[in-house]
Amino acid sequence: MTDARESAGPNGETPARHAPGTPCWVSLMVHGLASTEEFYGALFGWEFRPGPQQLGPYVRALLDGREVAGLGQLPPDRQLPIAWTPYFASRNADLTAETVRSRGGTIGVGPLDASDAGRLAICSDPSGAVFGIWQAAEHLGTAVSGVPGTPAWNELLTFESASVAKFYQTVFGYEEEPVVSADFDYVTLLRGGRPVAGIHGLGQALPRDQGPHWVTYFEVADVDDALDHLVHLGGQVLKPAHDTAHGRVATVADPEGARFALLQRKR
């Protein structure tokens, strides 16, 4: 993680519509929806209300009445990886999906309409990491950021950054800001000069049981307190809290194994 600058305004409000290429939503598909709601509700203070049901039971998580993330239930016969998936804003999901295909990515779901909320596609980049495309209609995406309980950053863990960064640059029009270092492979993706996501090349250190995957960072007020709470709720600490240039960070998993990170920003 090299940067997690918030996109919110001074009161934590995001713009009415997310600019193309910016992370606009995160969603998690699980087997036990009710128990997952209980876990994240207790951890982040989320409340829930029903969302589009095109892909099965689905709820939107709210913080103080504003939407921050989505949770859905997998069909019983689908043994897919349980993982948080970031969605990137697009003005035309079909065109973006076609660009994904033409650049070596794959489309797993869609493009399809999610009721009146918008149009989506679920894709994989050439390395196999899963991400989503969201063309907003009634549902604009995450409505608040920069406060505890909200997504703060998305980072792709992969084998090497350069070729994968070119893929995302072509699909979403990013600028690239690589770290110049012989032993640290990292590229920050920017839109309009603002960091929006990162790509971290881990080489052979990438866990084989995971493969390339996106990790969502959620902001918390106190990461050590949040870890204690998470373990009490049945979660697991994968990488203990440690200090970075951008704040205190820990990598964790929920009771179904979905990995994510907690970030306590420097004040």
Residues 12, 140: contact at Cβ < 8 Å?
A: no
What's residue 75's pLDDT?
86
pTM of the model: 0.92
Position 1 confidence tier, pLDDT thresholds 50, 70, 90: low
What's residue 245's pLDDT?
86
Residue range 151-179, pLDDT digits in tens: 999 999 999 999 999 999 999 999 999 98
Q: Is the peptide bond before 23 cis (omega within 30 degrees of 0)?
A: no
What's residue 224's pLDDT?
97
Residue type, 50: P
Q: Rounded distance, CA 168 to CA 129, Å?
A: 12
Position 149 confidence tier, pLDDT thresholds 50, 70, 90: very high
Helix or strand run (H / E) with residue 38: helix 33-44
What's residue 156's pLDDT?
98
Looking at residue 90, the DSSP 8-state letter turns out to be -
Question: How far is the first Cα of the chain from the last one, in angstroms, to the nearest whole number?
Answer: 17
Strand partners, 186: 200
Q: Rounded distance, CA 79 to CA 86, Å?
A: 20
